[in-house]
Chains A and B, each alone.
Chain A
Amino acid sequence: MLLIYCPYCEEERSELEFRQAGDAHIARPTNMTEMTDEDFEAFFFLRDNVKGLTFERWRHLNGCGRFFNAARDTVSDKFLTTYKAGLPRPDLSTLRPATEAIVETYEATESDAK
């Protein structure tokens, strides 16, 4: 199970709160009715299913409810970064790992509880 940084909540939260929502950066065409069958097939059905770096959508379902994007390595499962919906793909060469923010745990809020 992973900790995922929600770019809206600005906090790392448990994977249990999130749902994966398919590939990112696939914009719904505005000229739907004029598309050829081939274009529609490419838009709706065809996905790369890459091994390695992938860009995908996640939703902080049991949190703020927002959809956001993530760059993730499908081999290690590691999140390289997460970013708000609508932003372009980040430049991965300059990428720092997703910010580590203080996690609101029982220990953190209730100090030395055992």
Chain B
Amino acid sequence: MSGANRIPGAGRLTPAKTARFFFDGKSYAALEGDTVASALLANGVHLVGRSFKYHRPRGIVSAGAEEPNALIGVERDAARKQPNVRATVQDVFDGMKVISQNRWPSLAFDVGAVNNLLAPFFAAGFYYKTFMWPKQAWKHVYEPQIRAAAGLGVSPTEDDTDHYSSRYAHCDVLVIGAGVAGLSAALAAAKTGARVIICDEQPEVGGALHYDKSVTVDGQDGFTWAQGTAAKLAKMDNVTVLPRTTAFGYYAQNFVGLNERVTEHLAKPDRKLPRERLWQVRAKRVIIATGAIERHMVFANNDRPGIMLASAARTFLNHFGVAVGKKIGVYTANDSAYEAAFDLKRAGITVAAIVDSREKPGEGVLAEARSLGIEVLTGHGVVNTSGKLRVSSMSVARNGGGAVRKIAIDALLVSAGWTPSVHMFSQSRGKVAYDNETQRFLPGTYAQDCLSVGACNGTNDLQATIEESLAAGELMSNASGFTASEKLALQGSNAFAWTGGMAGAAEGAGADTTVKAFIDFQNDVCAKDIRLAVREGMHSIEHIKRFTTNGMATDQGKLSNIHGLAIAAETLGREIPKVGLTTFRAPYTPVTFGTLINHSRGELFDPTRKTPMHALEEAQGAVFEDVGQWKRAWYYPRAGEDMHQAVNRECKTVRDVAGIFDASTLGKIEVVGPDAAQFLNLIYTNSWDTLKPGRCRYGIMLREDGFVYDDGVVGRMAEDRFHVTTTTGGAARVMNHMEDYLQTEFPHLNVWLTSATEQWAVIAVQGPKAREIIAPLVEGIDLSNEAFPHMSVREGKICGVPTRLFRMSFTGETGFEVNVPADFGPAVWAAIWAQAEPMGACAYGTEAMHILRAEKGYIIVGQDTDGTVTPDDASLGWAVGKKKTDFVGIRGLRRPDLVADGRKQLVGLLTKDPKVVLEEGAQIVADPNQALPMTMIGHVTSAYWSENCGRSIALALVAGGKAKIGQTLYVPMPDRTIAVEVSDMVFFDKEGGRING
């Protein structure tokens, strides 16, 4: 037996196919195809959670995606725990572990329920008002406490072991929703040969046919017709049918995000399958067939377990074969709830009474109720309920007051009418329009190539829905360039046309400020909270929403928004459309981070770039650092060395002997063409006409505003060919910058730009023995100082492979940069290392490189400059061609602020205590004894211990810095103030003789 409340012969599940699952540790029987909700109800379990704010006992409200209450945790193992799953959409699988949330120590006895008694202190806006002062207390006391006490589910702490897939799809017609409307539209569209995708959030198609057993289509039972139609569509080559797939976001240009749940319903999923699949669909046309969602009635204590939507009770009976109670009541303002009572009555359940707030229900349903012997109380309201953990009675009174009659029940079905699901339409930026006659927001002005059909379009009648949908399917296909040979026709019938509906507080919600008549179950918002918000001055619906948090929970107010709006409008004395509707946002229902992040996690989060010599450096013991996407050798510790010792040794070795360094990450751009020099004249501040082939020059590049953008050494390989280098981080943007000017501002220049960053492996060999190290390996290049002076470039061979050999230095030592085609990098590195090692040279990393260049006062763009530094500020004024009439940045450089006195300039800093190393980013003041807040005159940009200088060194940007050389300034730190002397930027080999060795 799969639950005592299973009605034999009712529902569509197979009694023989059973499954067992655990709810809070207790084992229950279920049937295959059950949701957690239907299985719990079959076992008579209504209490499934505690509410967020008041910790009130809560049950299952709906049978679908709109569920606000029944949020559960589903655990497969320690890593795969999913919190906040709606019990109404999660299939049961054998062995499943389900836990309730937001209760302690147990669901039936919850300490937090004391909040319910303290409710007068928890009015809307309470958090904003109470916990804002003192400021520190919010962060350290209030917020952690509130989060611990409230909070919904608990996230797993282990990494998700599931994987998720993603795919793009293009189609002519995307149909969202596979109820009668969606299936009809898809049929008509598919017949034209158009590529059709139809998706539905439920495991099976059918939508409202899950509960409405009275419907027939084409002479068949509605649900049977739907399954047959889906099967027929799935067989067609031009159609993709996606069940368990939610269209969660509608973006620009008919781009729709779908979330397909692939294995969520399986007991033992094949681990090769993705758990969920993200579909990014580009549709020429979209048909929205998302139906409508039933609203609950707003009255006192309308949130007890056992109080649920009438359509939900009908779904549980007609689809799952489960009776939600033995003696039910109905409270409605709409005809549809009557049919729930009829179905239950026919299944042998006692219907205590139908309470209808209207004086005049639909005649058809009223007559049917009478013939079934059901008592109908028109013009009445439910003014209260009782029952601690499940509803046990409803108190009924005539509208406007009078005697109260208490009726014993164990379930109460409610319906205030139906809200068309305009979420997708609204997300597409369509404007909804209020229909006064039916008091509904319906699709108004369309912004994209889509059409709404059926209940989401306000079409109630079944046959009208079918015809509207068939026509839409054909129309949208035609618009995509497809036509059908013949028209499709389908005939539908159902039992009753539904009338009625209301929005806002019903009889019994009262104006009383103590009555808890809930409109938003998930965020515990009552009718009185909306009224309070209005009284406190919130007049815009967006303000009311934020003040009360109505509609801000994970269900996004699918049940509550219209009620909240109606109550606000009534309190404000304005019409509903004048108050306005809050904006619908994606996602329609919650989507896992796994689906959205998809493959972009772990190693695939961001590409990793490795230089050709990476493996060799690893073998040499390198520790790597991330520089953008690059992995760069940071330092090479030897046995017993910490970072500091290793770096000191590397710095010392380079200046005493030599060092080899992987400089492959430098950006490299090949600039070629008859106008190449002229182009570089415009891009750089320097002049390039005078640079002879075979020579190099340090170039500065500005933005049009006059600030330093990038720098690097440029070698002229031939009259019409330059080898340009950029900073590691600037490679891509400098290329873009050059392409931009070449294509759009200087298109008359005959120049080609080619990124060559990854084509060249670059090995810098620096130090007094650099020449000696490479000499035996080089062919065809005279390496003597006379033939190959500093800032030259030659082409020849090294280790038998072609090289562009640069004589240049970022250390101040005699230096070479060996460029070889990337694939030869490792072999050449190994050969150079074989020469270098016996001489006592070392491999050095980026940390030593940074220190060595700072010892010489060479700047790093982006570290010592910050986008507000001019060449002159950085003492690089010499690199600006004074005779030039144009280059990018020439006019910016002349702006008044850029030539004014007192600009921050790059200078050196020497701490009075040579052992003290400054902190990069530390602020600098002239007078450490001034009152707070102090006037800061600059900051430290680079600071290191220099083993070669035997002291600390630093670079800093200081206002009027060059004029302050020799003066004492101060760097205030939390624990002390450090005195520094301003110096020039060169700390080692001030004469610069070593570079020409």
Chain A contact residues, CB within 8 Å of chain B: 1-3, 19, 21, 27-28, 30, 32-33, 35, 37, 40, 44, 57, 59, 61, 65-67, 76-78, 85-86, 103, 105-108, 112, 114
Contact = CB atoms under 8 A, between A and B. Distances in A.
A67 B744 contact: yes
Given A1-B252, A32-B890, A76-B447, A105 B170 contact: yes
Given A59-B736, A65-B739, 8 more contacts: A1-B251, A2-B252, A3-B253, A61-B736, A85-B743, A103-B282, A107-B169, A112-B237
Nearest to A108: B170
A50 B692 CA distance: 49
Contacts of B195: 107
Contact of A1 (B169, B240, B280, B745): B280
Given A76-B429, A76-B447, A103 B170 contact: yes
26 contacts: A1-B251, A1-B252, A1-B255, A2-B252, A2-B253, A2-B255, A27-B745, A33-B885, A33-B891, A33-B894, A35-B891, A37-B895, A40-B895, A44-B892, A59-B736, A59-B740, A61-B736, A66-B743, A76-B447, A85-B744, A86-B744, A105-B168, A107-B169, A108-B170, A112-B237, A114-B240
A67 B252 contact: no
Contacts of B282: 3, 103
Contacts of A40: 891-892, 895
A6 B242 CA distance: 33
A72 to B, nearest CB: 11
A67 B743 CA distance: 7
Of all A-B residue pairs in the complex, the 6 with the closest CB atoms, nearest first, are A32-B891, A77-B252, A28-B745, A67-B743, A105-B170, A2-B253
Given A2-B252, A67-B743, A86-B747, A32 B886 contact: yes
Contacts of B885: 33
Contact of A44 (B168, B705, B890, B896): B705
Contacts of A105: 168, 170
A3 to B, nearest CB: 6
A74 B408 CA distance: 60
Most buried by B among A1, A57, A66: A1
A60 to B, nearest CB: 11
Contact of A57 (B169, B739, B744): B744
A40 B892 CA distance: 8
Contacts of A86: 744, 747
B740 A21 contact: yes
Given A85-B744, A107-B169, A76 B890 contact: no
Contacts of B237: 112
B719 interface: no
Interface in B695-743: 704-705, 736, 739-740, 743
A84 B890 CA distance: 28
A78 B253 contact: yes
Interface string B441-458: 000000100000000000
A19 B735 CA distance: 14
Nearest to B448: A76
Contacts, number: 67
A103 B172 CA distance: 12
Interface residues on B, range: 20 to 34
A37 to B, nearest CB: 7
A5 to B, nearest CB: 11
Nearest to B282: A3
Nearest to A2: B253
Interface in B240-261: 240, 251-253, 255
A21 B704 CA distance: 15
Nearest to A79: B253
A76 B886 contact: no
Nearest to B238: A112
Contacts of A108: 170
A66 B747 CA distance: 12
B899 to A, nearest CB: 12
A66 to B, nearest CB: 7
B704 A44 contact: yes
Contacts of B747: 85-86
A67 B739 contact: yes
Interface string B644-683: 0000000000000000000000000000000000000000
B665 to A, nearest CB: 21
Interface in B891-945: 891-892, 894-896
B886 A33 contact: yes
Contact of B252 (A35, A59, A76, A85): A76
Nearest to B169: A107
Contacts of B240: 114
Interface centre among B739, B740, B744 (most CB of A within 10 A): B744
Nearest to A29: B891
Contacts of A44: 704-705, 892
A83 B318 CA distance: 59
A108 B429 CA distance: 30
Contacts of B890: 32-33
A114 B195 CA distance: 12
Contacts of B252: 1-2, 76-78
A47 B253 CA distance: 27
Contacts of B251: 1
Nearest to B886: A32
A77 B253 CA distance: 9
Nearest to A1: B255
A106 B167 CA distance: 10
A83 to B, nearest CB: 13
Contacts of B255: 1-2
Contacts of A21: 740
Nearest to B703: A44
A58 B863 CA distance: 30
Nearest to A69: B744
A44 B195 CA distance: 48
B882 to A, nearest CB: 12
A44 B253 CA distance: 32
B279 to A, nearest CB: 13
Nearest to B745: A28
Nearest to A76: B447
Nearest to B747: A86
A37 B739 CA distance: 27
Contacts of A85: 743-744, 747
A62 B976 CA distance: 52
A46 to B, nearest CB: 13
Interface string B142-171: 000000000000000000000000001110
Contacts of A107: 169-170, 195
Contacts of A106: 168
A77 to B, nearest CB: 5
Contacts of B891: 32-33, 35, 40
Nearest to A41: B895
Contacts of A35: 891
A25 B546 CA distance: 43
Contacts of B170: 103, 105, 107-108
A53 to B, nearest CB: 16
A105 B892 CA distance: 46
A59 B890 CA distance: 25
A57 B745 CA distance: 13
B366 to A, nearest CB: 48
A59 B251 CA distance: 22
Interface string B248-285: 00011101000000000000000000000000101000
B446 to A, nearest CB: 11
Interface in B928-968: none
Nearest to A85: B744
Nearest to B254: A3
A7 to B, nearest CB: 13
Contacts of B705: 44
Interface in B739-762: 739-740, 743-745, 747
Contacts of B169: 107
Nearest to A34: B891
B479 to A, nearest CB: 12
